[in-house]
Amino acid sequence: MTEDQVQQIVIDIINEIAPDEDTTGLKPEVNLRDQMDLDSMDFLDIVMELRKQHGIEVPEEDYPELASLKSCSDYLTPKFNAK
Amino acid sequence: MCLAIQIPITKAAIGQNFESAFAPKQNFSTIDSITASRGIPYRFPMHQSRIVITGVGLTSPNGNSLEEYRKNLLDGVARIQMIDMRYMGPKGAIGQVPAGVCDFDPKKHQTRKELRVGTRAGSIAIFAAREAIASSGLDFENYDKSRIGVYVGTTEHGNVETENEVYNISKFDYDTKFWTHHHNPRTVANNPAGEITINTGITGPHYTIGAACAAGNAGLIQALQMLRLGEVDFALAGGVSESIQSFGIFAGFKSQGALGTHETDPNKVSRPFDKTRNGIVVSEGGCIYTLERLEDAQARGANIMAEIIGYRINSDASDYVLPNPERQAECMHQALAVAGIEAGEVDIVNTHATSTPMGDIQEMKAIAEVFGDCPTTYVNNTKSYIGHCMGAAGALELAGNLPSFQDNIIHPTINVEDLDPECALANLVINEPRKVDAVKVILNNSFGMLGINSALILKKFED
């Protein structure tokens, strides 16, 4: 799985949990919270959907890795490819 | 004299008790100075303040505004449907149950994200509250939101969300790591009231009043008391229910032998006082009023819909589910005493009757005891149209009758094809609306499990 594909998975989850947000044109290097109205419960939703939909576990200490699309793909791509 | 059977509680005694309870305490001025010195406005004593209704917002199975709802009550339009319900079919399959479903547009006042995170009860509460605020004509944006209180009656809350989560983790071998982090904020008892505050920015007190199916009335009574205490200057109060999303509510009534059925027509399942009635229709709904002290309402030129002149909540102290007509009658007598009126001055008694074989008879016994000799007191019921909206029932049913203060028409109870002689009060308004000379006083009954009774008395506003 490529980093672009992983970023698209994260965007699909965000579209699901924050349906009012416009996810087109998100800048990969910029923190998601600086580009959208996401709160801590939303990040827990992202963690839950990664678990439910893809069997990917994100331990609490790694939550900062989900800050931006780029950090998400850096962190998650190896996990997806290790499945 | 309309007290057909003398209850050993006199108006004078009640009056003394209330006067005593409401008497100003010696240290009031001290409390006043302390709170004032901290910059917190504190207004008292307000115990004698007249409390009025200045707005209403609602969603019921047959209407999303007071106008639509009232029109359907006068036109005899019931709206009950068969819905799919988890586990209610044979051997745990999905089955169909009759239910009252609201079709308001939740996106009118909520974002899609709010709808995803919140509860159905919260959504119903927000819709009704927002519509009530608009109806009140209050300059809400510029109003001090720390002086607004939110008091929402609920029969129960949290069953829906917990059932949904158990169902969710059943898809993952009951592994609780798939249990949502939204569960607790969704299931805390104050959820529907709290969602109103988050949506509106109200920073005054909010909580729910758990009072079984008397909760709608209880919400209004709580708001009245808080206004009189000076805790708030403006109140949103009433009741909500999301119960139709809980299979447990349906299954519980079915096990109790109290879930209504009809062979052919969902709209005829709820048929209080009919000889063939066989149980409750569970419905969702919500009704929120804006309440104010009279002087505040008049100062801002509000449209005053009614004045609450009497109320009472009491307890059967006798059974978990079987109503107690003696205590119900006592509740109505006490509410009349608080209002300072005779039974014969009441023009409409809106019954709580839920279409169960025993419950309807018990309530009619109580009403006969209080109003049996009152030739101009008429009796009706609203559940025959909308089913039992649980925590919203009292507030919604009251709303259906409030327009009678203007049009002097009493909406009937429908679906009575064969009147049960044990429910046959002379002034029961059946199947056709009744026009009367004047409607000036309404008594609204709402009763609930564990023997909680409530009666609310409203008067057409006269300065």
Q: Which residue has the higher pLDDT, B174 or B17?
A: B174
Q: Which of B112, B177, B180 is facing A20, going by the closest CB pair?
A: B112
Tell if the CB–CB gap between A41 and B172 is shorter than 8 Å: no
The mean pLDDT value for B363-391 works out to: 98
Which DSSP state fits A21?
S
Of the pLDDT bands very low, low, confident and very high (cuts 50, 70, 90), residue B23 is very low
Is the pLDDT assigned to residue B35 strictly greater than 90?
no
Least confident of B35-39, B317-321, B415-419: B35-39
Tell if the CB–CB gap between B112 and A17 is shorter than 8 Å: no
What ipTM did this prediction achieve? 0.93
Interface test with A, best of B116, B168, B173, B186 (most A CBs within 10 A): B116
Our measurement of the distance from residue B287's CA atom to the centroid of its chain's CA atoms, rounded to an integer in Å, reads 7
Q: Which residues of B are catalytic?
A: 213, 352, 388
**Closest residue by Cα to residue B454 from B307, B338, B280:** B338
- pLDDT at res. B20: 41
Residues 6+ apart with CB under 8 A from B26: none
Q: Which of B116, B117, B178 is facing A51, going by the closest CB pair?
A: B178
**Closest residue by Cα to residue B400 from B425, B375, B380, B426:** B380
For chain B, the domains span 51-299, 310-459
Rounded to whole angstroms, how far apart are CA atoms B379 and B377? 7
As a CATH number, domain B51-299 is 3.40.47.10
- pLDDT at res. B22: 39
The mean pLDDT value for B285-314 works out to: 98
- pLDDT at res. B47: 60
* pLDDT 10s digits, A12-57: 999 999 999 999 999 999 999 999 999 999 999 999 999 999 999 9
Q: Which residue of A has its CA nearest to B180?
A: A48
> A17 to chain B: which residues are within 8 Å by CB?
113, 116
The type of residue at B211 is A
* pLDDT 10s digits, B238-293: 999 999 999 999 999 999 999 999 999 999 999 999 999 999 999 999 999 999 99
The mean pLDDT value for B450-454 works out to: 98
Chains A, B: CB contacts under 8 A, how many?
22
Q: Which of B113, B180, B181 is facing A18, going by the closest CB pair?
A: B113
Is the pLDDT assigned to residue B13 strictly greater than 60?
no
Tell if the CB–CB gap between A19 and B178 is shorter than 8 Å: no
> A51 to chain B: which residues are within 8 Å by CB?
177-178
The mean pLDDT value for B288-303 works out to: 98
Is the pLDDT assigned to residue B346 strictly greater than 60?
yes
Is the pLDDT assigned to residue B194 strictly greater than 70?
yes
pTM reported for the whole predicted model: 0.91
Tell if the CB–CB gap between A52 and B172 is shorter than 8 Å: yes
Interface test with B, best of A13, A17, A20 (most B CBs within 10 A): A20
Whole-number average pLDDT of chain B: 92
Of the pLDDT bands very low, low, confident and very high (cuts 50, 70, 90), residue A2 is very high
Is the pLDDT assigned to residue B334 strictly greater than 60?
yes
Enumerate domains of chain A plus CATH numbers: 3-19+28-81 (1.10.1200.10)
As a CATH number, domain B310-459 is 3.40.47.10
The mean pLDDT value for B343-371 works out to: 98
Distance from the A44 Cα atom to the nearest Cα atom in chain B, whole angstroms? 7
B285-293 and B348-350 strand pairing: unpaired
The mean pLDDT value for B398-408 works out to: 98
Q: Which of B111, B177, B182 is facing A41, going by the closest CB pair?
A: B182
Which DSSP state fits A82?
T
Rounded to whole angstroms, how far apart are CA atoms B164 and B149? 31
> Which residues of chain A have a Cβ shorter than 8 Å from any chain B Cβ?
17-21, 41, 44-45, 48, 51-52
Least confident of B42-46, B84-88, B161-165, B228-232: B42-46
The answer to whether residue B182 neighbours chain A at the CB level (below 8 Å) is yes
Interface test with B, best of A37, A40, A41, A54 (most B CBs within 10 A): A41
Of the pLDDT bands very low, low, confident and very high (cuts 50, 70, 90), residue B48 is confident
pLDDT > 90 fraction of chain A, expressed in percent and rounded? 99
The mean pLDDT value for B321-346 works out to: 96
- pLDDT at res. B248: 98
